[in-house]
Structure 1
Amino acid sequence: MAHVFGERTLATLERLLGLLSAFEVVVWMTGWLAAV
């Protein structure tokens, strides 16, 4: 998903989680930020 929403940054993660929160989706992304 990082390729769709932009670089793997905290701001991108917050944007993605903000979009998903509208649908009440729980997301577990282990190692997502570790790949930065």
Structure 2
Amino acid sequence: RRILWAAQDITQNRPALSRWHPDHAEDFAASLKNRD
């Protein structure tokens, strides 16, 4: 999941390591809870 999120940083124009960025940390946490 973290690798996918990091790859999407590029395609979704987010800052690098956005999972720790205050604007994106909540979205990352939610994506971990919603694993398929």
* TM-score > 0.5, shorter chain as reference: no
Q: Judging by fraction of residues, say which structure has more helix.
A: 2
Higher relative contact order (CA 8 A, sep 6+): 1
